[in-house]
Amino acid sequence: MIQIIPAIDIIEGRCVRLSQGDYGRSKVYDAKPLDMALAFQDAGITRLHLVDLDGAKQSKPANLKVLELLASRTEMEIEWGGGIKSLDALRSVFDSGATYGICGSVAALKPELFREWLLGYGPKVILGADIRDGKVAVNGWLAETELGIEELIDMFAGDGLDNVICTDISKDGMLQGPAFELYKDLQQCYDAIDITVSGGISGMEDIEKLDESGLRKVIVGKAIYEGRITLKDLERWSLNA
């Protein structure tokens, strides 16, 4: 069964969600990151997607205290994204308790550097491929490249890459369903790599459809915070996984 990975996006230490990657269209939620993480863990979740939106804009991790707190108070694996632009930043993320580091902008703009990290850290390094209108976006989705997602994956497919988180920015935070065909095609094309779905999940029916299509991992954010997917839903899915 597909693994559900709840997301916690952070600005200034608080849980937020953006719509289509637009920082000007952010919604702040009352829940504290630790409270949400503990609730997810109690529901049987074993992996958490933690995004430092401040770090993505500042090009360096900015909310490591939150990471340290969640890593010390939960037993979940944590994948961290946001601001990993240097080896020091990558090390600081791992030192603060992350199990995985998600790197997107470096992979697209400095592929040789990302390849060094991938060869050095293996599966602890995840490729973040955020796309808008078919092209890879970088620097907190504030800029775009001329790379397509297949071009980006092909750069590293022979270097031990085993996990790609693909976010369709046009779908992210919109609660209108993910780009099903995109993810199905990618997973079929890259069988040795886990293609993690990110963006657009509106309810459990989307997750069931992705599962039937052979996808292996899915990140869920706004649908949880807006009550479209409940903790009970997560618990039932975890028990059947």
Residues annotated as catalytic (active site), given as ranges: 9, 130
Give the end-to-end CA distance of the chain in Å, rounded to a whole number: 5
CA distance linking residue 195 with residue 192, whole number of Å = 9
Report phi then psi at 168, rounded to 5: -85, 105
Q: How many CB atoms lie within 10 A of CB 5?
A: 23
Q: Phi/psi zone of residue 201: left (φ > 0), alpha (ψ -120 to 50 degrees), beta? A: beta
Burial 60-95 (b: 16+ CB within 10 A, else e): bbbbbebbebbbeebebebbbbbbbbeeebbebbee
Q: How many CB atoms lie within 10 A of CB 22?
A: 13
CA distance linking residue 22 with residue 236, whole number of Å = 33
Report phi then psi at 12, rounded to 5: 50, 40
Which pair of tokens denotes residue 172? 């992210």
